[in-house]
Structure 1
Amino acid sequence: MSALNIRHVNKTFGSTQVLKDISLAIDSGEFLILVGPSGCGKSTLMNTIAGLEPVTSGEIRIGDEDVTWHTPSERDIAMVFQSYALYPSMNVRQNISFGLEMRKMPKAQREEAVSRVAELLQITPLLDRKPSQLSGGQRQRVAMGRALAREPQIYLFDEPLSNLDAKLRVEMRTEIKKLHQRLGTTIVYVTHDQIEAMTLADRIAVMRDGEILQLGTPHEVYNDPVDMFVAGFMGSPSMNFLPVTLVSHAGASGYALQVHDEEQGEVALTLPWPVERDTQELSARVGERLILGLRPEHFLEDDAIQETSGEGTRLEVTATVVEPTGADTLLQAWLGGNEITARLGPKSRVVAGDRVALRADLSRAVLFDEKTQRRLA
């Protein structure tokens, strides 16, 4: 496998700039996921890596070779699309081996390659079937097998699971992760599904409007988002955002956050900001409007915490919607005139209309600048 280096790549279609000075260094054997909303440029970036779209400017290197102006066939990459793109008149064996045959690989080597990937993907019993006789998950395995048989330097996956149903998508996600762990292949993977990104990636590049906003491990982009877009995009349900004013803590050291009820135009409640989270930048922001970010799991039912621990800041909310999911319970409620979502335990017995005692773990909260939406603390 080889490393992939993308340096200052720009791509325009007419007067529209789709990629804006993209630079990425992907290590050999790394699993990188490009994630972002529709139209953010992730598929265009994938196509420039594959050679399906020429760059307007910039450089793409695979290993030590500059492949910026190479054709797709000269780049030694394999691509798996969201549409399986299987030949309907060929059986599975022929679909997997067709590309090898076009490359003039000897028959014995082709058969060995087909057997190897069929065993790896557990599709050996399907080799003589036509695509019309396969399920969606089986067809996707065949498409992956066709790519794996090539043994290229880099694999590109463009939303390969988007056409599968929810259960099958989870199963195939696990299979792709196992495959990468066994083979140590270099993979660039495009998806709009942030759950896929979190579970599969070694690193995630979050894109918006043709730019990479943050590049980091799943832990980094989830727990240390650089701005409100990344914080809101990564996570399901997404992060709660509350308008606040930073004030000096009355009668104590440190600061507090006054939560605003925007509809009533008043301060609804005051939350203490953890002293250990104080920064020099915050001292210059006293009196300013900021945005407080709390993830659903940063709230706990008060009953779930030992009374003696005093962990978190105690709040009372009224449940508006309760959604049991099996593994947990999602609670929607109003807090200081702002709707929030809290992730409660599976044993929660809360129903809509209940008054619920919660504790908010502000040690895990984040603060953003209201105007720039960049993270402050």
Structure 2
Amino acid sequence: MAALEIHNVCKDFGSERVLKDVSISIDSGEFLILVGPSGCGKSTLMNAIAGLEPVTSGNIYIDGDDVTWRTPADRDIAMVFQSYALYPSMTVRQNISFGLEMRKVPKPEREAAVERVADLLQITHLLERKPSQLSGGQRQRVAMGRALAREPKVYLFDEPLSNLDAKLRVDMRTEIKKLHQRLGTTIVYVTHDQVEAMTLADCIAVMRDGQILQLGSPDEVYNNPVDMFVAGFMGSPSMNFISAMLERDGDGYAVRIATPDEEDLCLPWPAARVTEAMTEQLGQPVVLGLRPEHFSEEDERLTAQAEGTLMHTSVTVVEPTGADMLLRLPLGDQEVTARVGPKCAVSPGERLALRVDMARAILFNAETEKRLA
């Protein structure tokens, strides 16, 4: 499988620049996911990699070869579309083998390839059916099989699961993960679903307005976002953003959250996580980023060992999800979401003691929305 390099790619549609100096490099066999809101440019970038959309400037390399101006047929890529794009008059077998037939692959090799991918995707029993006789998940498997039969250098997936229902989407996501682990293929995958991105990717590129805001592993993007957009986009429920002030606290620093009806909440900032960018904002408004799992229910038996700063608050909404419980509670002049264990015995209107894990909190500049610490 091939490595993929994208160097300073720009794409203009008339006077509008939809890709702005995009650069990405992934190793052979890596799973890259392009994620971002609708209209951010991820599908345009995918089409540029495929050769379906010529770039305005920049270069694209596959396996070290400059393919910027090559046709799609000459790039040795295979693409799986959102709409499946199956031929309705052909059987599953014919759909899978059609691309090989167009490339003049001998019949014995075509048949062997069909049997291989059908076994891999567990669709052998569907080979003589036509697309109209298949479910959505089965059609998607056939579309994947058609791509896998080719054994190209790079596979491109353009939102392949967006037309499936929720359970089937989860099942197919697992199948794609297993497939990548077995074959070690180089994959570029476009989605707007950040859960897909977190579960599938080796590397995530978060896009906004035609630019790459952050490129890194799922852990890096989730736990060390570069700005508020990335922090808020990755994670479900999304990160809580709380208006606060950064001030001195003895020899250290603290984040003060103004509360309208009670005494202000002052959260000490860990000394090991103080940065120069943060100290320059002393006395200025900042935004404190706390993910729902950064809150935990206070347990009196663990008080001596428990980490984090204790806070007391009322609960406005309780949302049981089975595996855990989401609580909506006021913090300052905002309402935030906390994720606690399923056995948390609390009802709307009651007060609750929670610990805030400031060791994992993130601080942002209130004006630029860039990360401070």
The TM-score range, normalised by the shorter chain, is over 0.9
- Cα distance in 2, alignment partners of residues 302 and 14 from structure 1: 58
For 1:53, the aligned partner's letter is E
Q: Deviations over 1:225-276 (max 9, x none)?
A: 0000000000000001111111111xx3201111135xx5998321111222
Following superposition, the deviation at residue 349 of structure 1 comes to 2.4
Aligned to 2:345: 349
Q: Which moved more, 1:317-326 or 1:112-121?
A: 317-326
Aligned to 2:43: 43
User: TM-score with structure 1 length normalisation?
Assistant: 0.96
Aligned to 2:132: 132
The answer as to 2:255 corresponding to 1:257 is: yes
Contact 2:242 2:331 survives alignment (8 Å): no
For 2:155, the aligned partner's letter is Y
Aligned to 1:289: 285
The answer as to 2:83 corresponding to 1:83 is: yes
Aligned to 2:189: 189
Superposition map of 1:169-248 within 5 A? 169-248=169-248
Following superposition, the deviation at residue 37 of structure 1 comes to 0.4
For 2:193, the aligned partner's letter is D
Following superposition, the deviation at residue 140 of structure 1 comes to 0.5
- Cα distance in 1, alignment partners of residues 190 and 301 from structure 2: 40
Q: Which moved more, 1:108-117 or 1:59-68?
A: 59-68
Following superposition, the deviation at residue 282 of structure 1 comes to 2.7
Superposition map of 1:54-73 within 5 A? 54-73=54-73
Aligned to 1:14: 14
- Cα distance in 2, alignment partners of residues 178 and 192 from structure 1: 21
For 2:63, the aligned partner's letter is G
- Cα distance in 1, alignment partners of residues 178 and 301 from structure 2: 37
The answer as to 2:308 corresponding to 1:316 is: no
Inter-CA distance 182–55: structure 2 relative to 1 (3 Å threshold): same
- Cα distance in 1, alignment partners of residues 34 and 19 from structure 2: 13
Give the RMSD, CA atoms, in angstroms.
1.4
- Cα distance in 1, alignment partners of residues 171 and 73 from structure 2: 31
Contact 1:305 1:311 survives alignment (8 Å): no
Contact 1:300 1:358 survives alignment (8 Å): yes
Following superposition, the deviation at residue 30 of structure 1 comes to 0.6
Does the residue aligned with 1:363 lie in a helix, a strand or coil?
coil
For 1:286, the aligned partner's letter is L
- Cα distance in 2, alignment partners of residues 3 and 182 from structure 1: 18
Following superposition, the deviation at residue 147 of structure 1 comes to 0.1
Aligned to 1:120: 120
- Cα distance in 2, alignment partners of residues 248 and 39 from structure 1: 42
Does the residue aligned with 1:18 lie in a helix, a strand or coil?
strand
Residue 332 of structure 2 is aligned with which of 336, 358, 365?
336
Aligned to 1:107: 107
Q: Which moved more, 1:277-286 or 1:173-182?
A: 277-286
User: TM-score with structure 2 length normalisation?
Assistant: 0.97
- What residue ranges of structure 1 are gaps of 5+ in the alignment? none
Following superposition, the deviation at residue 305 of structure 1 comes to 6.7
Contact 1:97 1:110 survives alignment (8 Å): yes
Q: Deviations over 1:297-319 (max 9, x none)?
A: 00001128712214211111111
Contact 1:101 1:110 survives alignment (8 Å): yes
Runs of 4 or more above 4 Å deviation: 264-267
For 2:350, the aligned partner's letter is D
Aligned to 2:270: 274
Inter-CA distance 356–267: structure 2 relative to 1 (3 Å threshold): closer
Inter-CA distance 353–267: structure 2 relative to 1 (3 Å threshold): closer
Q: Deviations over 1:94-113 (max 9, x none)?
A: 11001111111111110000
The answer as to 2:320 corresponding to 1:327 is: no
- Cα distance in 2, alignment partners of residues 215 and 260 from structure 1: 35
Contact 2:5 2:60 survives alignment (8 Å): yes
Following superposition, the deviation at residue 281 of structure 1 comes to 3.0
Aligned residue pair count: 373
Superposition map of 1:15-30 within 5 A? 15-30=15-30
- Cα distance in 2, alignment partners of residues 365 and 146 from structure 1: 46
Q: Which moved more, 1:219-228 or 1:315-324?
A: 315-324
Contact 1:35 1:190 survives alignment (8 Å): yes
Following superposition, the deviation at residue 161 of structure 1 comes to 0.4
For 1:160, the aligned partner's letter is P
Q: Deviations over 1:179-198 (max 9, x none)?
A: 00000000000000000000
For 1:309, the aligned partner's letter is Q
Q: Deviations over 1:307-365 (max 9, x none)?
A: 22142111111111111111111111101222110001122222221211111000100
Does the residue aligned with 2:353 lie in a helix, a strand or coil?
strand
